[in-house]
Amino acid sequence: MLLIRCPYCEEERPELEFRGAGEAHIARPANIAEIPDEEFEAFFFLRDNPRGITFERWRHIHGCGRFFNAARDTVSDKFLTTYKAGEPKPDLGAIRGDKA
């Protein structure tokens, strides 16, 4: 069972309190009603599913209830960092550098 740091609760909590919510940083187009099919396909259906570092959404559903974002390595299953919804993608080089 993972421990996940909730950026709102500011501490690590057991995975059981969380729910994954798919890839992060995919913004719903403001003019969604007008976008062409290809753009809708890219927005709604297509996902990267990389081997390695992925940005994903989580919700602390049984805790503070907040959605937040995480950078996680799909190979080691390790979280590199978590950050609040709406914040930009963090500089992972700097994070890994800090830890080295």
Partner 1 sequence: MAETAIVKADRREPMAGAAMANAAVTIKATAPMSRLSLRAGTDALPALSAALGLDLPQRPKQTAGHGDRAALWLGPDEWLVLDLSGADLMAAVSGADGVFSAVDVSHRNTGFTVTGQGAADTLACACPQDLRLAAFPAGAASRTVFGKAEVVLWRQSETQWHLECWRSFAPYVFGLLKEGAEDAVLT
Partner 2 sequence: MSQSFRIAGKGRLSPSRGLRFFFDGKAYDGLEGDTVASALLANGVHLAGRSYKYHRPRGILTAGSEEPNALIGVTNSAARHTPNVRATVQEVHDGLAARSQNRWPSLAFDVGAVNSLGAPFFSAGFYYKTFMWPKAAWKKIYEPFIRQAAGLGTAPNEPDPDHYANRNVHCDVLVVGGGAVGLAAALAAAKAGASVILCDEQAQCGGAMRHESGARIDGRSGWDWAQETVAALKAMDNVRVLTRTTAFGYHTQNFVALAERVTDHLADGKGLPRERLWQVRAARVVLATGAIERQLVFGGNDLPGVMFAGAARTYLNHYGVAAGRKVGVYTACDSAYGAAFDLARAGVAVPVIVDWRHDVPEALVREAQDLGIKLLTGHRVVQARGRLRIASIAVAHRDGGQERSFAVDALIMSGGWTPSVHLYSQSRGKVVWDEATQRFLPGDPVQDCVTVGAGNGTDDLADGIAEALEAGRAAAAAAGHADGEAPVVHVEASESFAGGLAGDAGEIKGKAFVDYQNDVTAKDIRQAVREGMHSIEHVKRFTTNGMATDQGKLSNMHGLAIAADSLGRPIPDVGLTTFRQPFTPVTFGTIVNHGRGDLFDVTRRTPIDGWAQEHGAVFEDVGNWKRARFFPVGGEDMHAAVNRECRTVRETAGLFDASTLGKIEVVGPDAGAFMDLMYTNPMSKLGVGKLRYGIMCREDGFVYDDGVVGRVAEDRFHVTTTTGGAPRVLHHMEDYLQTEFPHLKVWLTSVTEQWAVIAVQGPKAREIIAPFVSGADISADALPHMSMAECEVCGVPARLFRVSFTGETGFEINVPADYGRSVWEIVAARGAELGACTYGTETMHVLRAEKGYIIVGQDTDGTVTPFDAGYGWAVSKKKPDFVGIRGLKRPDLVAEGRKQLVGLLTSDPATVLEEGAQIVADPAQAVPMTMIGHVTSSYWSENCGRSIALALVAGGRARMGETLHVPMPDRTIAVTVTEPVFFDPKGERLHG
- Residue reference for tokens 């049984």: 62
Report in angstroms how near the CB of residue 10 gets to partner 1 at its nearest: 5
* Residues in the chain, overall count: 100
Distance of CA 89 to the CA centre of its chain: 9
CA–CA–CA angle 20, 60, 30 (5° rounding): 70
- Window 37 to 66, contacts with partner 2 (CB under 8 A): 37, 40, 44, 57, 59, 61, 65-66
> Is residue 72 within the footprint of partner 2 (CB under 8 A)?
no
Binding positions for partner 2, rule: CB under 8 A: 1-3, 14, 19, 21, 27-28, 32-33, 35, 37, 40, 44, 57, 59, 61, 65-67, 76-77, 85-86
